[in-house]
Structure 1
Amino acid sequence: MTTTPGSGFFAGLLDPAHRANPYPLYARIREQGPVRLGQMPVVVLSSHRDCATVLRHRAAAVERHHASIPLGPTPVHDLAGDRVGELSGTTSMLFRDAPDHIRLRRLVAKAFTPAVVRGLEPRITALADAALDRAAERGELDVVADLAYPLPITVICELLGVPLDEEPLLRRWSMLLARSLDPISATATGGRPDPGEMVRANNELHDYFERLIRHRRARPGDDLLTALIAAEESGDALTHDELVSTCALLLIAGHETTVNLIANSVLTLLRHGHRHHLAILRTASAFAGPVIEESLRFDPPVQLVPRIARAPIALPGIEIAAGDLVVLLLAAANRDPAVFADPDRFDPARGDRHLAFGLGQHFCLGAPLARLEASVALTRFAQRVRDPRLADEQPPYRDHVTLRGPARLPLTFASITPLR
């Protein structure tokens, strides 16, 4: 096991110089094996074997009170001694272990089963086509702003019963709170979020859902929020704080990662000499599944996740002590040559052994919906956008470490085929 200074290590992850392509850095980290950050009770794992083991391990927790160092509700953010502020959210399932996690997950799981998600396909297809129609009228297309963002935010708002005309506010809050998932190093340069602004965004979002919940109590609807309110009113399934936090989590998690998945997939197909994959997809929509799975491996929207050892965890060559914070570099694990031959090559024929959605009890609840949204968006893009080209070979990336995707992705194109 390698020991290295914590601030320098995370400064490397946060350095904007690595934002466009962090994978050479991940490869160097993976070659070192497990890394303990100086004298801190923090371990970084980057191999597929180690990450998969911890994701499934019974002693791998998400509740912060298990940690031997003080942590905020998002347990990666103050690794190097900085604090983001006391963001609320620990009552959401993202930061709860069993049995509370199982109880909360069960309440929303019915809205994300494969059968229910399949029923959304016509609506998702209509949204993708409408987005491309608007781009055709303007004669310009930014994949992020015009397709990847409006599609999933509309779907999750409609599922929850959130008015879409308030989307600008929701976008601002979501973008700020997504940054709370990032580690912060005192030596990192640039892109540092303002802690006060993040706390204000958190409070404003929760106040918003308090008002919406009051409105929905008076006027129930046919949506997930109404169903969650009914569960809260039953008195034994959901507390009020859990209701508010769960709504906020579903809103943010329900679109942030899918935006990146769609944008990363399009960028990969247009940038890495894989236009032949786009040509196949134009006539064979079933090919979207393998393309999306390989995109999840090759350039995952979630790059790392934290776990806390509530009991010792033994891995080959390392003993993780109770209370250790364990950072799992999923993006590094997804390119582990011990599992994936020629891992830096994009190959949709690989299968789906990636860890992009996690494993175990915290496996992404929204995975079926994300897969469908990305598959539909990519298929309709391939079928309708003729001769798409990157307007910028090196598009700017969002200023995130945990979540990865381009901030903008403008294209040129010959035409967008009208709907018949």
Structure 2
Amino acid sequence: MTTAPSPATPGFFAGLLDPANRADPYPLYDRMREHGPVRLGGGPVVVLTSYRDCAAVLRHPAAVVERRHASLPLGPTPTHDLAGERAAELTGTNSFLFRDAPDHTRLRRLVAKAFTPAVVRGMTPRITAIADGALDRAAERGRLDVVADLAYPLPITVICELLGVPLEDEPRLRQWSSMLARTLDPVSGKSTTGRPDPVELVRANNELHDYFEQLARERRRRPSDDLLSALIRAEESGDALTHEELIATCGLLLIAGHETTVNLIANATLALLGHRHHLAILRTAGAFAAPVIEETLRYDPPVQLVPRIARDPIALPGIEIAAGDMIVMLLAAANRDPEVFAEPGRFDPARENRHLAFGLGQHFCLGAPLARLEADIALTRFARRVREPRLDCERPPYREHVTLRGPAAIPLSYTGILPASGDS
């Protein structure tokens, strides 16, 4: 049977978009999970919050990502005249984030070899040098904001070097990336609160598209050993990659390659600052970083929700999902489901962890090994080098983003930052 719309349903969705809940959305998630599956306003949008339901849909063959299967229009639609600007396809349907098999398989295979565990492990010395360099610069300035000075510079530098993007272009890339990450957020047709301007989204999309067009032209003239050059070779082979897929893949890797890891490092640091006995353990036991990261992915995940579209009907306990329905899975709520995790609101790195933060099935996060390594190194270098860190504010400000949730700043006071050579 289909779940009937509840009087509480509109409040749930408004609460999800309300910036006042960004710092701590988990009480709202608990109420939503207790309510069970929700069909918003009786329309074609279903919200799932339990671990059982989210895991089932993530694995279900009829739960797809291609927008052509949806019964409602998706994506931002410009409402103003863009003075002749075309809507370049960069973060949309040409990206393998929004493609199903066989195209998803083909496109993912082209970049997967750059993110295998063995290849990622080989990046350890360089990532460590980047993290130590970031802390060195903070020590010279005499102040430390974990987001601006460590959590952001580390993954953006790594993904730029991997792709072959000049790091001096980072300020522009950061602006475009932050704007385009908002396209992943749900929006309400009845409210424009916190809603990005569609015209600005299209403009950012086009500018990033043009940037990679120009960079690809340069790499064709002077190939390098970076990932962009490898993708160009695949494109020029004829059938592996179209030009638009090349540009879209670059945009996706840039945005997905750092936005989520920024939040992972920042959220884990906040958890450690709030549980100082765990920070003390990490200071002397680097292996403790791995369970801290896994628990952060469960307790305060960088990706709060993911969408799917029902290509065919999907039956779940308590609700029937029709073909064409949009399915919104609140992974952050599922990861605190008391049916799966004892005392889910407690940060406990020792627990057995089966979180859904990286998804399941064919769309399992391609960059998971790299994100884990970057967070591991950032957290261990922070724990060993920063002496007696304390938050400089009662509660840090949060970014506007709903889907990719994380603090905008984590300003700290501390007694000192040890030199990299003297932190053991």
Smaller-chain TM-score range?
A: over 0.9
Distance, in Å, in 2 between the alignment partners of 1:70 and 1:136 is 50
Match of residue 177 from structure 1: 180
2:9 pairs with 1:28: no
Give distance in 2, aligned partners of 1:12 and 1:393.
Answer: 23
Change beyond 3 A, Cα 1:263–1:87: farther
| CA distance in structure 2 between the partners assigned to 1:264 and 1:188 by the alignment | 29
**Aligned-residue CA RMSD (Å):** 1.7
Distance in 2 between residues matched to 1:351 and 1:220, nearest whole Å: 46
Q: Deviations over 1:169-189 (max 9, x none)?
A: 000000000001111124446
Q: Give the TM-score of the pair, scaled to structure 2.
A: 0.94
Percent of residue pairs bearing the same amino acid type: 77
Per the alignment, residue 313 of structure 2 pairs with 312
CA distance in 2, matches of 1:8, 1:284: 45
Structure 1: runs of 5 or more not aligned: none
CA distance in structure 1 between the partners assigned to 2:260 and 2:287 by the alignment = 22
The answer on whether the counterparts of 1:114 and 1:368 sit within 8 Å (CA) in structure 2 is yes
C-alpha spacing 1:156/1:190, structure 2 compared with 1 (3 Å): same
- In the alignment, is the contact (CA less than 8 A) between 2:12 and 2:32 conserved in 1? no
**Equivalent residue, structure 2, for 1:290:** 291
SS at match of 2:401: coil
User: C-alpha displacement at 1:305, in angstroms?
Assistant: 0.6
Does the 8 A contact of 1:296 with 1:354 survive in 2? yes
Q: Which residue of 2 aligns with 1:265?
A: 268
| Alpha carbons 1:15, 1:188 under 8 Å: kept | no
Equivalence for 2:67: 64
Q: Distance in 2 between matches of 1:143 and 1:316?
A: 43
Say if 2:164 is the partner of 1:161.
yes
What is residue 221 of structure 1 aligned with on the other side? 224
C-alpha deviation, 1:393, in angstroms: 2.0
Letter in 1 for 2:146: V
Give, in whole Å, the separation in 1 of the partners of 2:231 and 2:198. Answer: 31
Deviation per CA, 1:228-279, whole angstroms, max 9, x where unpaired? 00000001100000000000000000000000000000011112xx101111
Match of 1:131 in 2: 134
Secondary structure of 1:308's partner? Answer: strand
C-alpha contact (below 8 Å) 1:10/1:183 kept by paired residues: no
**Structure 1 length as normaliser, TM-score?**
0.95
CA distance in 2, matches of 1:97, 1:334: 25
8 Å Cα contact 2:297/2:357 also seen in 1: yes
> Match for 1:176: what amino acid?
M
Tell whether the 8 Å contact from 2:46 to 2:328 is kept in structure 1 after alignment: yes
After superposition, residues 2-401 of structure 1 pair within 5 angstroms as 2-4=4-6, 8-72=11-75, 88=89, 89-188=92-191, 190-271=193-274, 274-401=275-402
Which residue in the other structure is 1:414 paired with? 415
- The alpha carbon displacement at 1:71 in A equals 1.8
Displacement, 1:319? 1.3
Say how many residue pairs are matched: 411
For the Cα contact (< 8 Å) 1:2–1:33, is it kept in 2? no
Q: Deviations over 1:69-120 (max 9, x none)?
A: 1222xxxx69xxx99x967221110000000000000000000000000000
Alpha carbons 1:174, 1:252 under 8 Å: kept? yes
Structure 1 residue 9, shift from structure 2 partner: 3.6
State the alpha-carbon separation in 1 of the partners of residues 204 and 228 from structure 2: 21
Task: Kindly provide the CA deviation profile for residues 127-186 of structure 1, in whole angstroms up to 9, marking residues without a partner as x.
Answer: 000001111111100000000000000000000000000000000000000001111124
Do the aligned residues in 1 keep the contact of 2:23 with 2:398 (CA within 8 Å)?
yes
